[in-house]
Amino acid sequence: MIDLSLQILNWYNQNKRDLPWRDTSDPYKIWISEVILQQTRVEQGLSYYLRFVQRWPDVEQLATASEQEVLKMWQGLGYYSRARNLLAAAKQVLHDYNGVFPKTIAELQKLKGIGEYTAAAIASIAFEKPVPVIDGNVYRVISRIFDVENPIDTPQGKKHFKALADSLLDKKCPGNFNQALMEFGALQCIPKSPDCEICPLQSICLAFERKKVDQLPVKVNKIKVRKRFLNYFVLIGQLESQCFTFLRHRKAGDVWQGLYDFPCIETSEKKELHELENEAFFQNIKAIAQEVKPLPGLRKHVLTHQQLMVSFYVVKCKSGFEVLKNNSLSLVSQTELVNYPMPRLIDRFLQDNESLFDNCNKN
């Protein structure tokens, strides 16, 4: 076990990526990096991390931010509950711990959004607590080295992997070792077609010896994907010489909580425009619409548990359209759109259709 740990650390010292959160023991910055990198590739997450810590360099400043500010900064990363939890946890650290991060696993896990993995990462990397950190990369490396067929998504499997990871842990430098093991999985022992011929652990890897590399790790629970059909209505009108549209503030209980998208009619299957005419919201639109124009194509947007099939309709509105404003619909000027946090789907739609407001601007 000791030799394996040394080999991992030696490999890490020679091959690790130069990343800013590795040059600090600040628990705040380590926490931010770990949360951003959940479900996000390093290449994408790096720029978000840099912008995030520049805007809010410590936990106290983050705690005073608004949810809309944080969600806007997070826009494009997905899994927006991570951003909401960051803000809630920052407030906890400020109010419950006087702005000082707790050092124990138990106290760290009291913070909103911090589970066993993130608590272990902060405790070991920031405070050198001798606890293993187990992410998808670590599961993969350990399952292949020891040919472990225990499923990684069962309680028994997780318990077995935690014991193995703990036996490998270098107790003298747990933070460095945990990062080394995760980095080894990210760069060398990758999910598909790893280059085993140059792997320094090839001689002790049971999966390589038994030709099982592509079979590990094992999962038993498949994600069930739900298909949804969303019909978005982009309402455009002029008010006091400015172009306006409506944005819907998404509430709790569904994807994209706290973000803004367009008014929407959801259906159980693909519907054409004439098939939406009996919907209550469409009746409201008809009262103020000069023209309803469907945009070509059905867009597919894939989330972890959902597949969204999306249609867009552009509605040119007559005067008086502001009567649609209510608790869930906000009247937003064209110039203010950039201030609203939106799902990547909506943000890309606006980027791809910059000419939407042209006719309005000409009036």
Q: Whole-angstrom Cα distance, residue 80 to residue 233?
A: 23
Domain co-membership, 355 together with 209: no
Domain co-membership, 179 together with 273: no
Confidence of residue 114 (pLDDT cuts 50, 70, 90): very high
Domain co-membership, 232 together with 113: no
Name the residue range of residue 283's domain. Answer: 226-362
Domain boundary among 157, 188, 215: 215
With respect to residue 170, please indicate whether it lies within any of the assigned structural domains: yes
Say yes or no to pLDDT of 134 above 70. yes
Closest CA to 106 of 123, 128, 85, 127: 123
Say yes or no to pLDDT of 11 above 60. yes
Say yes or no to pLDDT of 106 above 60. yes
pLDDT, the chain, mean: 94
More confident residue, 317 or 326: 317
Res 361: pLDDT: 62
Closest CA to 116 of 125, 105, 126, 127: 105
Handedness of CA 134, 344, 352, 52 (dihedral sign): negative
Coil, strand or helix: which one is 59? helix
pLDDT tens for each residue of 260-272: 999 999 999 999 9
Res 1: pLDDT: 47
pLDDT tens for each residue of 258-311: 999 999 999 999 999 999 999 999 998 888 899 999 999 999 999 989 999 999
With respect to residue 164, please indicate whether it lies within any of the assigned structural domains: yes
Domain co-membership, 129 together with 275: no
Q: How many domains does the chain have?
A: 2
Domain co-membership, 209 together with 245: no
CB-CB contact of 94 with 60 (8 Å): yes
Quote the Cα angle for 35-118-121, to 5°. 110
Q: Which long-range contacts does 221-225 make (Cβ < 8 Å, 24+ apart)?
A: 221/151, 221/153, 223/304, 223/305, 224/305, 225/305, 225/306, 225/307
With respect to residue 305, please indicate whether it lies within any of the assigned structural domains: yes
Domain co-membership, 289 together with 343: yes
CB atoms within 10 A of CB 3: 8
Q: What is the percent of the chain where pLDDT is above 90?
A: 87
Domain co-membership, 183 together with 296: no
* E strand map for the chain: 226-239, 242-249, 260-261, 264-267, 289-294, 299-302, 306-317, 329-333
Say yes or no to pLDDT of 2 above 70. no
Domain boundary among 167, 184, 215: 215
Q: For residue 183, what is the enclosing H or E element?
A: helix 174-187
CB-CB contact of 146 with 157 (8 Å): no
pLDDT tens for each residue of 320-347: 888 888 878 999 999 999 999 999 999 9
pLDDT tens for each residue of 63-94: 999 999 999 999 999 999 999 999 999 999 99
Res 286: pLDDT: 87
Domain co-membership, 209 together with 311: no
Domain co-membership, 246 together with 191: no
Neighbouring residues of 239: CB distance < 8 A, sequence distance ≥ 6: 321, 322, 331
State the CATH number of the domain containing residue 345: 3.90.79.10
Domain co-membership, 256 together with 176: no
Say yes or no to pLDDT of 27 above 60. yes
pLDDT tens for each residue of 223-252: 889 999 999 999 999 988 899 999 999 999
With respect to residue 220, please indicate whether it lies within any of the assigned structural domains: no
Domain boundary among 151, 180, 215: 215
Coil, strand or helix: which one is 27? helix
Taking each helix axis as running N to C, give the angle between helix 155-168 and helix 2-15, from 0 to 180 degrees, rounded to the nearest 10.
80
Catalytic amino acids? 34
Confidence of residue 131 (pLDDT cuts 50, 70, 90): very high
Residue 32 CA neighbour count, 13 Å, CB half = 30
State the CATH number of the domain containing residue 179: 1.10.340.30
Domain co-membership, 82 together with 18: yes
